[in-house]
Chain A
């Protein structure tokens, strides 16, 4: 009788430990950045449509394969409007505003707290009109 209870207790303990481990691992993975690669080729983002989870850090690896400089500015429509007439010569201080010189790679990590849609754009002269625009959907 006692032996049976002991076995049950041990089994329960092991079960709790396993579940705790799985949960902890899941939590740890959820806090690890998700890596998303973006390539710039012929002044276009590839891919131009990206979906990421809300609340989880996302590391964007942006590779500029063009022989000219580009930018990657993330934000809503109002933010994009501001940058359209902005005068900052380069970006890099904010994780959502990156300058990517010709032939280089830049990494930035962003956590989108709220669900919804964001735009990413290159605001160098003529680039947005040429098609350097993408969308990030946050679920």
Chain B
């Protein structure tokens, strides 16, 4: 039986990215920098969320532009993964090629390194290249304790952002990357380590707010989110462009794309037909106060909870009915009708010449 957490949540997956940008170890309490040299740069991120047969396959990776030391990220997940493994080497590039005729370099990579700790429950630990991945279960305080115990420091907006996610699902994926170790492995700037997370869910979901973690409200956030669903999905919020997300592609997936994706590592689950959607995140951190809710069922009702517009258990205020006002209004209507009736009765019949 597949494990489903927050089924109402719908799904899935996670997203796009990586989020929480745990900062580096040295704990310089007095105005110290986040990293030893502040040189770790993340460029545009790319994520693929495929959904078929009630299972979300999430492939993500991000560009690592150089720098040393250790850093990490945390991605909120809507469900406990059944597997976390190395992703195919070219799935993301192939998707870019499909939606961007002019080939553009995309890349991937992560970084991190980490010990073990307290607070959150560690459900799964996986090491992929220079990446240490840990699936965590816990609330905001647990995740914070875990991060601290591992020598990472969360940015100041983390408490609110973690609460935002933990209220809906207390499953997180922590990724720790050691850039020095990656360098020692021969990984160069622009190289990537794609990871593939498999999670059973009711509907796919892509956390977007986490992308803004640690950023100033005016900082630009860019990411590409590719969705492959059995049919055209309904999205919430709708990608209007003015709200920080834009619909760049929405069409039936081509046979060649599906065949190519199927041939990549761990992608045999790709169906023989599907709908490809590309949502470009291109807005300010201040705009990204929501996640991307997806309804892949065809019902056209993406969840407001998945989008983060409503929290689970939130009471929707219902305006109380004021019967006294209704009674008063009905009284006036009644008086008016009676008045009209009396006037009609007193009025001479139509057609009768006045003065007769």
Contacts and interface: CB of A to CB of B under 8 A. Distances in A.
Q: Do A and B bind each other?
A: yes
Interface stretch (B22-30, B44-52, B196-204, B270-278): B22-30
B10 interface: no
B158 A67 contact: yes
Given A68-B154, A89-B28, A102-B148, A126 B160 contact: no
A41 B154 CA distance: 15
Contacts of A68: 144, 147-148, 153-154, 156, 158-159
Nearest to B146: A67
A88 B148 contact: no
Contacts of B153: 68-69, 124-125
A95 B29 CA distance: 16
A48 to B, nearest CB: 15
Interface string A49-68: 00000000000000000111
B32 A125 contact: yes
A91 B28 CA distance: 11
- Point out which of A42, A83, A126, A127 has the most chain B C-beta atoms below 10 A from its C-beta: A126
Nearest to B139: A67
Nearest to B26: A89
Contact of B156 (A90, A99, A126): A126
- Point out which of A43, A85, A125 has the most chain B C-beta atoms below 10 A from its C-beta: A125
Contact of A43 (B23, B140, B156): B156
B160 A102 contact: no
Contacts of B158: 67-68
Contacts of B227: none
B154 A71 contact: no
A123 B28 CA distance: 9
A129 interface: yes
A124 B156 contact: yes
A91 B27 CA distance: 12
B268 interface: no
Contact of B28 (A41, A43, A87, A129): A87
A132 B147 CA distance: 21
B241 interface: no
Contacts, number: 94
A83 B148 contact: no
A87 B30 contact: yes
Interface residues of B, number: 29
Contacts of A91: 29-30
A55 B158 CA distance: 38
B25 to A, nearest CB: 11
Given A87-B28, A102-B145, A125 B33 contact: yes
A43 B30 contact: no
A76 to B, nearest CB: 16
Interface string B136-176: 00001111110110000111111110110000000000000
A67 B162 contact: yes
Nearest to A128: B31
Contact of B155 (A69, A99, A126): A126
Interface string A78-117: 0000011111111100000001011100000000000000
- Point out which of B140, B156, B159 has the most chain A C-beta atoms below 10 A from its C-beta: B156
A125 B27 CA distance: 9
27 contacts: A42-B157, A66-B144, A67-B141, A67-B144, A68-B158, A69-B29, A69-B148, A71-B29, A83-B31, A85-B31, A86-B28, A86-B32, A87-B30, A88-B28, A88-B30, A90-B27, A90-B29, A91-B30, A99-B29, A102-B148, A123-B30, A124-B156, A125-B28, A125-B34, A126-B156, A127-B156, A130-B155
Interface of B: 23, 27-34, 140-145, 147-148, 153-160, 162-163, 214, 216
